Amino acid sequence: DQLINVPLNEDIKYSFRNFQNNQIISSVDYFSQTELLYCHVYSYPYIWTFYHNIGNNFPGGLFKCVRQISLCDERPFEHEFFLRISQSFPLMKKLSVSNLKRPKYKQHRKLKNKNEDFSIIKYHHLTELELTIVHKDYVELFLDHRRTCLPNNIFLIIDYRPLRKATHNFNREVMRINCAKLIRLSIYDEFEISQQLKNYFPHVTQF
């Protein structure tokens, strides 16, 4: 097996030791299955409008300039991770998620008191959501209004199979509120545009 030399955050920060007037933030994500390495190094406060390939090692912070982000990891994203992302990027408009690992939050929900629930994730300025390479449970998380509060006029880009499974063939009542907030829907793969599908997304005029 080929050994991968993954840099440590301490080593990265040491390389920028002469930047005394800037706070240097770094994070490293190594994906063993695909042998991909994502290394983020930037000065804080962050001034760019995008932040891509964010994984579970995201160090946090407040990014008021960012409008577009993408999330990816070989480890599952949990509810708390998405809550942290929504708080770190309060003005985010475009969000893309790629993760095929099933989250564990469902198991945690069963252990919690019935009267206790997760904090609802809120995306106040989101206009575009892409869920094309995801486990169906992430579709459930975003479309279930008890877990995620979406704003109006959302453009959703998604694969047909996880959408159909998550909505129980477009019958689940808990997802109708968020689905009614969609105005554009781009579905990958072949599918039948049934009346049931149209009724589930009442404000989408073109599929």
Residue 167 has phi, psi (to 5 degrees) of -95, 5
CB atoms within 10 A of CB 159: 17
Residue 197 has phi, psi (to 5 degrees) of -65, -45
pLDDT tens sequence across 48-91: 999 999 999 999 999 999 999 999 999 999 999 999 999 999 99
Model pLDDT, residue 117: 58
| Percentage, residues of the chain above pLDDT 70 | 83
* Structure token digits, residue 163: 């959408």
- The answer to whether the CB of 97 falls within 8 A of the CB of 130 is yes
Q: List the domain boundaries for the chain.
A: 1-44, 49-200
Model pLDDT, residue 111: 42
- The answer to whether the CB of 131 falls within 8 A of the CB of 105 is no
d(CA 28, CA 56): 10
Identify the three-state secondary structure at position 103: coil
pLDDT tens sequence across 108-119: 455 455 545 568
Between residues 62 and 105, the one the model is more confident about: 62
Model pLDDT, residue 104: 86
- Cα–Cα distances in angstroms (integers) from residue 6 to residues 28, 29, 51, 63, 98, in the given order: 8, 9, 21, 26, 22
- Mean of pLDDT over the chain: 87
pLDDT tens sequence across 8-54: 556 555 565 666 667 888 888 888 787 777 888 888 889 999 999 99
pTM of the complete model beyond 0.95 = no
pLDDT tens sequence across 149-174: 999 999 999 999 999 999 999 999 99
Model pLDDT, residue 102: 95
Between residues 143 and 43, the one the model is more confident about: 143
